[in-house]
A and B are shown apart, each in its own frame.
Chain A
Amino acid sequence: MNRSMIIYVLGTVLKLTGIFLFIPVICSLIYHEQEGLPFFVTGLCSVGLGTLATLHKPENTVFFLREGCIATALSWILLSIVGAVPFFLTGEIPSFLDALFETVSGFTTTGASILPDVEAMSKTALLWRSFTHWIGGMGVLVFLLAIIPMTGGGTINLMRAESPGPSVGKLVPKIRYTARILYGIYMVLTVSMLIILIISGMPVFDSICTSLGTAGTGGFGVKSDSVASYSGILQWIVTIFMILFGINFNGYYLLLQKEWKKALSMEEIRAYLLIIVSATAIITVNVADRFSSIGDALTAAAFQVGSIITTTGFSTVDFDKWPDLSRGILVLLMFIGACAGSTGGGIKVSRILFLFKNTRHQIFAYLHPKSVRPIKMDGHTSDNETIMGIQSFFAAYLLIFVCSIFPLLACGSDLITSFTAVAATINNIGPGLGAVGPMNNFADLNCISKIVLIFDMLAGRLELFPLLVLFSPAIWNEFKK
């Protein structure tokens, strides 16, 4: 195993994190807040340590999938720990475990918070929380690939390990430019949202944090009631942008290439939009009697559906109080998640589509045992390995899901709370139902539950296997050598 290359990547991530930490420092200077200092110190230390680790450029730059997975998983763990330090140092989150939970929740774009009173936080800390969403949404290693020239072709393995979706395709032959295009689209969408929000009358600071949180499909707000207190127009803007950020970015690239037809005929995007429309329609009808007008019901339903399916996790109403049909649909949407290749989490629409197609295929195979019929996606025949990969992903997903519920139950949470807490973290959504519902938070859970949920968030963001690889003893034996 190429240990020096992994250390080099980790060092670079450390440097980058340090530089990111200076962003809230700027904010603290603008608002004259004391909290900037711990951020500055942490950032400085981080850059220093990272520079030390990258002083020696490894000669052997060979990089296989194994190195990619390990480097990615360790980078995310490192990133979370460094990101949590300033919260702890400022004293705004007194327990380090809580600070870690909050940071992991930020980077994995979950948006599950342990803060009882968000509005009491300094603006510096709030901006950092939202910024972790933004960088975590597209991925810190993709960012790294975009700005730092990495030699050796194996670097695609970093992207494979970090990017969501069953298969990672490049947009252009060079990975560096692929990463740049992705971040370019991401940046343009974020800035357009920011401008539209400001024009529509949201305060500038709120607009920045909300845009960052929406772009990463994260869900940390700057208010205790999330987005509820903003006007209907602002809620619709957020709804639309949440849905936009949940679309496969390959679609945007096709649009840039003026391949309208291809972009609009992507099966995944069509299925995604269809699910959103039907879920919104059903919920609107279901909850109509609780709102003064059907328009209000539609606004609330669309917002909640968009927020849950893209795994953002903003909320405008306490949907925990909605009828069971609506709650059931929302829980289902939690699992489906956004499109592959977007910033959202969950199982991903494309995987669900595959599972459906595969089931149909199996039924057909029962009727015609000797039939030969490929599973097609966007007109391309899917090879067996992709299908196997999706099936094993699904199996591992269920396994982790079930195993995570029991520690929570053992610690005294009720079934609905445990089930939705795990669902909300492994799918990177944020709020669940019951004690972790949209108007509550994760603060009351005990240590063990929080550790389990931290693991779930990371596993969900990295799509299980890159993180699970760390638990293979063979890897550690080799690493020690």
Chain B
Amino acid sequence: MFHFKSLHTRTKPPLKCIIVGSGKVGNALIDVLGREGNDITLIDQDPSKIEEVTGTYDIMGIVGNGASFRVQEDAGVKEADLLIAVTESDELNLLCCTVARHAAKCATIARVRTPDYSVEANYLRDQLGLAMVINPELSAAQEISRLLTIPGALEVSSFAHGQAQLIKIQLSAGSPALGMTVAEYSQTYNDPLLFCAIERNNQVHMANGNFLFREGDIVAFVCQYRQRHICLEHLGITSGAVHNCLIVGGGRASYYLAKNLLANNISVKIIERDRKRCEFLSDDLSDAVIICGDGTDETLLQEEGLPSAEAFVPLTGMDEENVILTLHAKHVSSAKVVTKVNRFSFKDVIRSLDLGSVIYPRYLTAEAIIAYARARRESLDSNKIVTLSQLYDRQVECIEFFIDEPSDITHRPIRELSLKNDLIIAFINRHGRVLFPLGDDTIEVGDSVMIVTTHKGFSDITDIMD
């Protein structure tokens, strides 16, 4: 049979994006935006970088200064839908966006990561007319602190303005859920949660009632923010939240993380090599303990109490060091460890190491941009996609849609909708109340609805219909 609907969704015109700066974030964006079928032009001052990236991805490259209007014009800024500035310098990024915004009325996204500016991120965004300000280090820090405050979680994403969370955990030997099916578990505990997807042997399955839990399954579920601890307890995760955290490396990400943790009453210890940086940190983070020394030194780590630490986060600039430190920490302590990996290559190796929680800051940023780009592809002034997050190596997408107009799916009992397979309506957020829908519930204008699916590229709520 021929699906006219799916044919229609495919013919949405691609978004014309300009990316300024071929750094690691820039390349990650090229990868994800290109995968969604958008037209991408890259501007960078280094010809060899352009050469390299245009050889790998199907994009156009322009050599030049991205803040110059002439160069932007060469890149087609006048017809472009979106310009994303991710060069090394915050000021240059803001200038690129300002030029594009005012000279070509192009929607713009800037990376701003210096703490001085990031405090004023919203002010900058509004004053300069930016569509979005991104700060990969800050989002990484937020993600890490979410992980640290939820015991056992491998991955946590927030939805419905923080009212709901999607939590990914691994079922360990003692979990009461083992040997039960999804349906049995729900009957037994009647918890306010909804299972979404389960990964077993590197294969992802959407949760259905007959799915039998086994040891080692990596389970993703949605629950209300306030009730997450009960849900976790019933699933067999008994350890409490952490009270102290040891961080290696004092870069921007650790600065943001420390701020965040201190605000949550978790004591923080940072080991940083550079004396000047230590002084800056101790000045700004007066509640944290700052140690000046080599964080990769085994004795120093022992002296500073790694074996008894409840959480350990290596945040050096080098992935290799971070991975080694994680492995070491797993060996000598029972601390909860979160590893930040910047590079996206060698993913298979990292998977096979069983590091526990691994976060990729670049892709956290990319998710927000994809959400924006997809919604924009749908309609120019759209804010239909509230949040988008990709799980299990991008095999599963969780998208929160805002319902701003009546359509085929609104005001009809969910059981009457002919939905696609491999798709779950995880929750409906009605005026700040999160409810897990049953067959009789309806979706109304003004709600936001979260969809979990293995289908790719949903950009409108009606895409869920078969």
Segment at the interface with B among A172-180, A199-207, A224-232, A468-476: A172-180
Q: Is the CB of B60 within 8 A of A157?
A: no
Nearest CB of chain B from residue A335's CB, rounded to whole Å: 29
Residue B58 is within 8 A (CB to CB) of chain A in the complex: yes
Among B14, B39, B57, the residue within 8 A (CB) of A153 is: B57
Complex A-B: 27 CB contacts under 8 Å: A64-B55, A65-B55, A152-B58, A153-B55, A154-B56, A155-B58, A156-B54, A156-B55, A169-B60, A170-B54, A170-B60, A172-B39, A172-B60, A173-B16, A173-B39, A173-B40, A173-B58, A173-B59, A173-B60, A174-B58, A175-B58, A176-B58, A380-B63, A383-B48, A385-B47, A385-B48, A385-B51
Nearest CB of chain A from residue B444's CB, rounded to whole Å: 40
| Residue with the highest number of chain B CB atoms closer than 10 Å, among A153, A176, A385 | A153
Residue B115 is within 8 A (CB to CB) of chain A in the complex: no
Residue B34 is within 8 A (CB to CB) of chain A in the complex: yes
Residue B41 is within 8 A (CB to CB) of chain A in the complex: yes
Extra contacts besides A154-B55, A385-B47 (18): CB < 8 Å:
A65-B55, A153-B55, A153-B56, A153-B57, A153-B58, A153-B59, A154-B56, A169-B60, A170-B54, A173-B40, A173-B41, A173-B58, A173-B59, A173-B60, A174-B14, A175-B58, A383-B47, A385-B48
Residue of B whose beta carbon sits closest to that of A384 = B47
CA distance A97 to B181 in the complex (A): 72
Known contacts A153-B34, A383-B47: does B55 contact A174 (CB below 8 Å)?
no
Q: Is the CB of A157 within 8 A of B41?
A: no
Report the 5 A-B pairs with minimum CB-CB distance, sorted nearest first. A153-B57, A173-B39, A173-B60, A153-B58, A170-B60
Q: Which residues of chain B are within 8 angstroms of A174 by Cβ–Cβ distance? A: 14, 39, 58
Residue of B whose beta carbon sits closest to that of A168 = B54
CA distance A63 to B358 in the complex (A): 30
The 8 A CB mask of A60-72 against B (1 = contact, 0 = none) is: 0000110000000
The 8 A CB mask of B52-71 against A (1 = contact, 0 = none) is: 00111111100100000000
Q: Is the CB of B39 within 8 A of A157?
A: no
CA distance A157 to B59 in the complex (A): 13
Residue of A whose beta carbon sits closest to that of B39 = A173
CA distance A153 to B51 in the complex (A): 13
Q: Which residues of chain B are within 8 angstroms of A380 by Cβ–Cβ distance? A: 63
Residue of A whose beta carbon sits closest to that of B54 = A156
Nearest CB of chain A from residue B68's CB, rounded to whole Å: 13
Within 8 A of B (CB), among A352-386: 380, 383, 385
- Number of A-B residue pairs having CB atoms within 8 Å of each other in the complex: 39
B side interface size, CB within 8 A: 17
Q: Is the CB of B58 within 8 A of A156?
A: yes
| Residue with the highest number of chain B CB atoms closer than 10 Å, among A154, A173, A176, A383 | A173
Residue of B whose beta carbon sits closest to that of A262 = B74
The 8 A CB mask of B190-228 against A (1 = contact, 0 = none) is: 000000000000000000000000000000000000000
Nearest CB of chain A from residue B212's CB, rounded to whole Å: 31
CA distance A156 to B14 in the complex (A): 20
Q: Which residues of chain B are within 8 angstroms of A170 by Cβ–Cβ distance? A: 54, 60
CA distance A38 to B56 in the complex (A): 42
Residue of A whose beta carbon sits closest to that of B14 = A174
CA distance A64 to B51 in the complex (A): 12
| Residue with the highest number of chain B CB atoms closer than 10 Å, among A155, A170, A174, A380 | A174
Q: Which residues of chain B are within 8 angstroms of A153 by Cβ–Cβ distance? A: 34, 55-59
Within 8 A of A (CB), among B4-49: 14, 16, 34, 39-41, 47-48
Nearest CB of chain B from residue A251's CB, rounded to whole Å: 16
Q: Which residues of chain A are within 8 angstroms of B54 by Cβ–Cβ distance? A: 156, 170
Q: Which residues of chain A are within 8 angstroms of B60 by Cβ–Cβ distance? A: 169-170, 172-173
Within 8 A of B (CB), among A150-207: 152-157, 169-170, 172-176
Among B34, B48, B55, B57, the residue within 8 A (CB) of A157 is: B55
CA distance A156 to B34 in the complex (A): 15
Nearest CB of chain A from residue B347's CB, rounded to whole Å: 15
Q: Which residues of chain A are within 8 angstroms of B51 by Cβ–Cβ distance? A: 385
Q: Which residues of chain A are within 8 angstroms of B57 by Cβ–Cβ distance? A: 153
Q: Which residues of chain A are within 8 angstroms of B34 by Cβ–Cβ distance? A: 153
Nearest CB of chain B from residue A444's CB, rounded to whole Å: 46
Q: Which residues of chain A are within 8 angstroms of B55 by Cβ–Cβ distance? A: 64-65, 153-154, 156-157
Residue of A whose beta carbon sits closest to that of B42 = A173
Nearest CB of chain A from residue B453's CB, rounded to whole Å: 22
CA distance A169 to B74 in the complex (A): 13
CA distance A385 to B63 in the complex (A): 14
CA distance A109 to B16 in the complex (A): 37
Q: Which residues of chain A are within 8 angstroms of B40 by Cβ–Cβ distance? A: 173
CA distance A170 to B76 in the complex (A): 13
The 8 A CB mask of A374-410 against B (1 = contact, 0 = none) is: 0000001001010000000000000000000000000
Residue of B whose beta carbon sits closest to that of A65 = B55
Residue of B whose beta carbon sits closest to that of A151 = B58
The 8 A CB mask of A257-269 against B (1 = contact, 0 = none) is: 0000000000000
Q: Which residues of chain A are within 8 angstroms of B58 by Cβ–Cβ distance? A: 152-153, 155-156, 173-176
CA distance A408 to B60 in the complex (A): 45
